[in-house]
Structure 1
Amino acid sequence: MLRNTSALSATVVAASASSRFVHASESSNHDSDPDRVIKLGIIGAGGRGAGALNDSFSINENVQLIAMADVDRNNCVRTRDLLKKRHGDKVMVEEDRIHAGLDGYQKVLEDPEVELVLIASPPGFHPSQIAEAVKAGKHVFAEKPSCVDTAGYKICLAAHDEAEKNGTAIVTGTQYRRQVNYVEAVKRIHDGEIGEIVSAQSRYCSNSIWYKNRKEGMSDTQYQIDNWMHFIWLSGDQICEQAVHNIDAMNWVMGGAPETAYGSGGRFTRPENSEMWDSMSIDYTYPGNRVLSLMCRQIPGTQGDNGNVVYGTKGIAYIDAMSGGSRFVDWSGKETWSKKGSISDAYRQEHKDLIDSVRAGNPIVELRQTADSSLTAVMGRLACYTGQRVDWDFMTNKSTLNLFPENLDWNGELPPSSYAVPGKVKLT
């Protein structure tokens, strides 16, 4: 099973809406009837895919899962059966609508009854699968990050524009943008409640991350996809896969992407064949010489810290991650405002907003903002990996970084794993 991804990238960006795919608009009545059943497909049926489906089923009525794809058929069956017990007739997936293998997702996109596709595959696959879903005329929910390299970023921008032309939705897994304490905190910052932004600090520090040993008989491709977190072409390292949540929040606060990134870090505790670093510290400089100090870390036995602090001329905003809430204080330390928030509610709200926008005929398209945040994470990773200062102009106009294997064979070989060493890795 060969897949030329260079050709694929060109195809998904340039292809017109007329293709072998059946458009949702050709198979569904797009009126505002709240009782119309919107039929779903899932690409990537592991833990995050199951979570996304559960969130959608929990908050939306009249949605129904009818098609599934994953490289491992067992993931589809396990997720289908689990969600069937919880949500009953919202899960109606027949055996012939379960698709396995690297190209199984194409069967979901070809299904004329599927109107909306949830994409929760490893991040390295996101750009091409999002673009193909848009080309197919499907509405999309896409997990973060949107991309792990510059080539993927450009595919995402083209897909965003095509979705706007198609009239199809793309909502992304950046739940903080729908968490009530984040929404109000950012509005208050933009309204000047803490004065002019001077600087900010963000931390995504935890103890560890999962790792899978290689099973006997696995090819390189099979093992790397199974253990995808530890291979950069698939995960983008922890800064893309995890810390992008905080980066996205800070880009939101700052009003856009940073101009430069300069950072450092290293690896001390990773398994030998993991390509991941286990810590990065980066200074991002935003327009107006506003500096964000970002740290992300996954080291067992260390103290965790996850949240954001924004320093203004009149006060300080604390915007904690997860369900920690937000609060503002003035420079004397007096609390001036606070608000609680629930991350589980935010996870569900993004799916409600998506379905509501589809039913109303006013589809949300937000891929560009998440792609910008994902490329901000890539820029920080490159600054650490190379030891160089990296700027946004280079990333968007000069970089040719494309991590996806040119030809991906399910049973084939891939280059041996290796981790980045600053001074040896060059900017591309």
Structure 2
Amino acid sequence: MNEFPTLGKHDTRRNFLKKGSLATGLVLLSQHIPAVHAAGSDVIKIALSGCGGRGTGAAADAMSNKVGVQVRLIALHDAFPERLEASYQALKGRFGDRVDVPPERRFTDLDGYQKLMETDADIVLLCSPPGFRPMHYEAAVKAGKHVFMEKPLAVDAPGVRRIIATNEEAKKKGLRVAVGHHLRHEIKHKEMIRRIWDGEIGRIKYMRAYFNSSGVWVRPRKPGQTEMQYQVNNWYYFTWLSGDHIVEQHVHDLDVLNWMMGNKHPVSAQGMGGRQFRIGKDYGEIYDHHAVEFTYEDGTRAYSYCRHIPGCWDSFSEHAHGTKGYVSIEGHGHAIIHVEGKEPVRVERGPDGHQLEWDDFLAAFQAGQPYNEVDHTVLGTMTAILGRMATYSGQIVTWDEAINSKVDLSPSGYTWDSVPQPKPGPDGIYPCAMPGQTKAF
């Protein structure tokens, strides 16, 4: 679902045929979807893995849906008990009896997600750090659960391939799967993509994307923590857990660039990046800035910038420049299209995409329709990984080289005593990628 924007009377013949082919496939697939919960009056039970801010927010959005579906939260999982408890208290305080999570359905530690899958939840929300996503998605599909999972879908190429393989199993089982790319549900993005696809700005010459901000939280090491406990708690700063911020955050914008190009992915990337501000022992191994030039199959270039340094110009936006005009979309604001010889058209943001993505997802349950957002959004994840490979190595990296990479960032085990990579030096500082020395794949 949502592979194509809602085009209405402005449909081109090509897009009409595409949508028609898609609809035929959806009808065939819908024959294999279990009928349970197709009626709007049914209560849908959800379970959350990953009780941080985004996971708690996703559960709240599900229970606040605007399409009339009754949603009840019945289980929680987080690696850390204190985070689970904070999420439980926040959701219980807001939604009361609709949060039905007794102590026996509150699961902790790294393997607690397995117990979550044994509950009778209809939908599981996979919102733990991205490094766990392929493993958690595989477990959810094996358990026959419908899934909402946050972006990115993986942090390395083996994880991407695992997601793709698992998604084929999800399709065979008729499971509905939503991905937390909320921009694909925002009114302004859908409207501007429609106009681009309709040719209003002509042929795209180049695109730009930005995710520049002051950065995110940091969680210093606590006395007595094992290395695994510390890294999982401070997960944003370790590539095996977050993918680096080009993958964890900038993936939103890179997915939009692919969407502008008709849900196509780039064929190569080259770029640069480094650490200038976040250089202390609390900041793991990731970069604080990346700049990447992506090249698509038709030669179109996309220029990508992301930065986590305070006191600088911030932007969360995507831009497409064509032969007849250009489109600019502000992530937290409006969008505008300038076409030669015409007055600019401005579209306001409208309702928050985090809520809209749940409204769209749950509407599919009401209608008994299939829903799977993985096929196109996994390309956004791999695009971001491709960009990181280019900045870390300082080399031109092709899509085929990247997607076939055997570099697996996951640790050898998933217990609190496991020893993840990298390890800190004697001064507590972690080694980071060095362009010209680090291998891309």
Deviates more, 1:354-363 or 1:71-80: 354-363
Superposition map of 1:53-64 within 5 A? 53-59=59-65, 61-64=69-72
Give 1:52's match in structure 2, choosing from 34, 47, 58.
58
Per the alignment, residue 10 of structure 1 pairs with none
1:315 aligned onto 2:325: yes
Please give the secondary structure, in 1, of the residue aligned with 2:392. Answer: helix
CA distance in 2, matches of 1:294, 1:31: 42
1:327 pairs, out of 332, 336, 339, with: 336
| 2:352 counterpart SS class | helix
Q: Deviations over 1:80-117 (max 9, x none)?
A: 12111111222111110000111100011011x21100
Q: Does 1:360 align with 2:367?
A: yes
Partner of 1:420: 433
Q: 2:179 aligns with which of 164, 172, 196?
A: 172
| CA distance, structure 1, for counterparts of residue 420 and residue 223 of structure 2 | 17
Match of 1:264 among 261, 264, 272: 272
2:310 matched to 1:303?
no
Q: Structure 1: any 5+ residue segments left out of the alignment?
A: 1-27
Work out which of the residue numbers 106, 114, 118 in structure 2 matches 1:106: 114
- What's the CA shift for 1:29? 5.9
Query: TM-score normalized by structure 1?
Result: 0.90
User: How do 1:391-402 residues align onto structure 2 when only pairs under 5 Å count?
Assistant: 391-396=398-403, 398-402=404-408
Deviation at 1:165, TM superposition (A): 0.8
Unmatched 5+ stretches in structure 2 = 1-33, 424-429
Equivalence for 2:287: 277
**After the TM superposition, which residues 130-169 of structure 1 pair with which residues of structure 2 at under 5 Å, given as runs?**
130-169=137-176
The within-5 A match list for 1:187-266 is 187-255=194-262, 256-266=264-274
Once the 2 structures are TM-superposed, how far is the Cα of residue 328 of structure 1 from its aligned partner? Answer: 0.7
What SS is found at the alignment partner of 1:137?
coil
Aligned to 1:115: 122
2:160 touches 2:382 (CA, 8 Å); kept in 1?
A: yes
- State percent identity of aligned pairs: 37
Report the alpha carbon displacement of residue 411 of structure 1 after superposing the two structures with TM. 2.5
* 362-371 or 179-188, larger mean C-alpha shift: 362-371
Give the structure 1 partner of residue 349 of structure 2.
Answer: 341
Cα drift, residue 213 of structure 1: 0.5
Aligned equivalents of 2:369 and 2:172: distance in 1?
12
Partner of 2:396: 389
| CA-CA distance at 1:31 after TM superposition | 4.8
Distance 1:141 1:337 in 2: 34
1:221-251 CA distance string (max 9 Å, x none): 0000000000000000010111000001111
CA–CA separation in structure 2 for the residues paired with 1:186 and 1:365: 20
Q: Any conservation in 1 of the 2:39–2:365 contact (CA below 8 Å)?
A: no
Query: Does 2:43 match 1:37?
Result: yes
2:299 is matched with which residue?
A: 289
Count of residue pairs the alignment pairs up = 396
Offset of residue 401 of structure 1: 1.8
In structure 1, the residue corresponding to 2:64 is in which secondary structure?
helix
| Matches of 2:249 and 2:155, distance apart in 1 | 12
CA RMSD of aligned residues (A): 1.4
Matched to 1:328, the amino acid is I
Corresponding residue for residue 12 of structure 1: none
Partners of 1:408 and 1:202 in 2: CA distance: 35
Could you say which residue in structure 1 is the equivalent of 2:80? 72
Please report how far the alpha carbon of residue 163 of structure 1 lies from its aligned counterpart in structure 2 after TM superposition: 1.1
Q: Give the whole-Å Cα distance in 1 for the aligned partners of 2:78 and 2:37.
A: 31
Q: Distance in 2 between matches of 1:361 and 1:131?
A: 23
Q: Which runs of 4+ in 1 moved over 2 A?
A: 358-361, 411-415
Separation in 1 of the partners of 2:384 and 2:102?
39
* One-letter code aligned to 1:283: E
The separation in 2 between residues aligned to 1:412 and 1:161, in whole angstroms, is: 31
- The correspondence for 1:404, drawn from 400, 404, 410, is 410
In the TM superposition, residue 408 of structure 1 has moved relative to its aligned partner by 2.7
- For residues 270 and 328 of structure 2, the distance between their equivalents in structure 1, rounded to whole angstroms, comes to 24
- Amino acid in structure 2 at the alignment position of 1:162: E
Query: Structure 1 residues 358, 422: CA separation in 2 closer, same or farther (over 3 Å shift)?
Result: same
Q: Which moved more, 1:353-362 or 1:203-212?
A: 353-362
